[in-house]
């Protein structure tokens, strides 16, 4: 099934409202979800809708949160999002960071007590569109074995980076610190597809290709990915006074409880460090030079971070709209809020 941007957003927005979100928060959340689906990040798009709706309906997300933003220094602030939907907390936190960075040159804004916040590339793109450079990261529940370990300890703990150029291109880099995000495996499950054998392991640490037999994910590049996982957890968890490491709340254990996750935005104004016009020009030059490079065998070109996502977006709309699997579409158009599929499941929704 293929849908236009507005069609998909309206379906998700209506479902979130039916689950209990306000008009404003449903609209903001649906916008991020469509952003993900149209760029081919289906693991962080509509495939998540039923889970969010179930948690909202069961009280695990505050539907009318009272945000409390405290400026803690000339370049720092903390937003307590009162267990609201993660997307809104992350957006509001980035808006505050953008304002502070424009005024003072740099901003570090922590967002605490939120639920899952999806594809964090969306938030750094907000900063890039405002002419700023941003790094964003957030913690997640344990599902990856640390380097040399046997039990899940850290989450996929993603990191994103965004920067503007002299034209309409923005660099948007968004990565999990695992070889793949859990959402990618969830997407493969929904499509009844196998996964590569370097994404995850079973109970004995053996590589698996069946997405239904995954016991734990693995960090990127062994010890290096493990170190990045720890860094993200320190900055977005311990530094905000939140649960950390293996103590981070489970996505599926009890959907009636809040998750108290942490997210941090670091935003910088390039004009405080160099001439802004030169910065933008040099950024564009970098992208041009990368694109002009002779590609390696088997590759069509060298893409800048975020370029392939935009090409997937263009391709989807050229082919009639955003592609959504039938099961998800049927759920979105149904009268049901959810089907009790996720509550009290393990970290992989089993």
CA nearest to 154, candidates 211, 235, 210: 235
Neighbouring CB atoms inside 10 A of 90's CB total 28
**CA–CA dist 148, 217 (Å, integer):** 13
User: Among residues 25, 116, 265, 338, which one is catalytic?
Assistant: 116
Q: How far apart are CA 245 and CA 236, in angstroms?
A: 11
Q: Which residue shows structure tokens 């990565």?
A: 175
Please report the beta strands in the chain, taking only residues with DSSP state E, as ranges in sequence order.
2-3, 68-73, 76-84, 106-114, 133-138, 159-164, 170-175, 200-201, 216-217, 261-268, 322-323
Q: Does 5 qualify as catalytic in the annotation?
A: no
109, 67 contact by CB (below 8 A): no
Residue 114's closest CA among 264, 235, 295?
Answer: 264
Pairing of strands 76-84, 68-73: antiparallel
> Which residues have C-beta within 8 Å of that of residue 224, sequence separation ≥ 6?
none
Sequence-distant (6+) residues with CB within 8 A of 220 are 175, 176, 177, 178, 179, 228
Rounded Cα gap, residues 343 and 18, in angstroms: 18
Decide: 266 and 124 in contact? Cβ < 8 Å: no
Contact 274, 283 (CB under 8 A): no
* Pairing status of strand 106-114 against strand 76-84: parallel
- 3-state class of 83 per DSSP? strand
Cα 243 to Cα 254: distance, rounded to the nearest angstrom: 16
Q: List, by residue number, the catalytic residues.
A: 116
């Amino acid at each position: 099934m293929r849908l236009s941007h507005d069609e998909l957003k309206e379906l998700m927005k209506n479902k979130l409202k039916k689950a209990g979100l306000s008009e404003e928060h449903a609209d903001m959340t649906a916008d991020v979800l469509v952003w993900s689906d149209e760029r081919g990040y289906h693991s962080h798009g509509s495939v998540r809708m039923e889970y969010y709706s179930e948690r909202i309906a069961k009280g695990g997300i505050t539907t009318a949160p009272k945000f409390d933003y405290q400026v803690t220094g000339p370049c720092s602030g903390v937003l307590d999002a009162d267990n609201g939907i993660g997307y809104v907390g992350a957006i509001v936190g980035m808006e505050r960071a953008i304002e502070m960075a424009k005024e003072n040159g740099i901003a570090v804004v922590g967002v605490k007590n939120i639920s899952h916040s999806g594809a964090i590339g969306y938030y750094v793109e907000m900063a890039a569109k405002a002419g700023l450079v941003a790094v964003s990261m957030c913690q997640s529940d344990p599902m990856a074995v640390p380097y040399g370990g046997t039990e899940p300890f850290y989450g996929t703990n993603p990191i994103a980076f965004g920067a503007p150029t002299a034209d309409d291109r923005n660099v948007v880099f968004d990565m999990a610190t695992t070889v793949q995000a859990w959402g990618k495996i969830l997407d493969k499950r929904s499509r009844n597809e196998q996964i590569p054998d370097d994404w995850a392991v079973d109970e004995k640490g053996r590589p698996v290709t069946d997405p239904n037999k995954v016991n734990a994910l693995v960090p990127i590049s062994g010890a290096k990915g493990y170190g990045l996982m720890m860094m993200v957890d320190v900055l977005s968890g311990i530094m905000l006074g939140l649960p950390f490491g293996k103590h981070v709340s489970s996505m599926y254990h009890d959907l009636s409880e809040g998750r108290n996750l942490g997210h941090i935005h670091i935003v910088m104004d390039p004009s405080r460090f160099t001439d802004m016009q030169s910065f933008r020009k040099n950024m564009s030059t970098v992208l041009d030079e990368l694109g002009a490079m002779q590609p390696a065998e088997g590759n069509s070109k060298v893409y800048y971070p975020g370029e392939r996502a935009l090409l997937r977006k263009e391709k989807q709309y050229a082919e009639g709209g955003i592609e959504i699997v039938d099961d998800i579409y049927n759920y979105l158009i149904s009268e049901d809020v959810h089907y009790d599929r996720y509550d009290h499941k393990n970290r992989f929704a089993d």
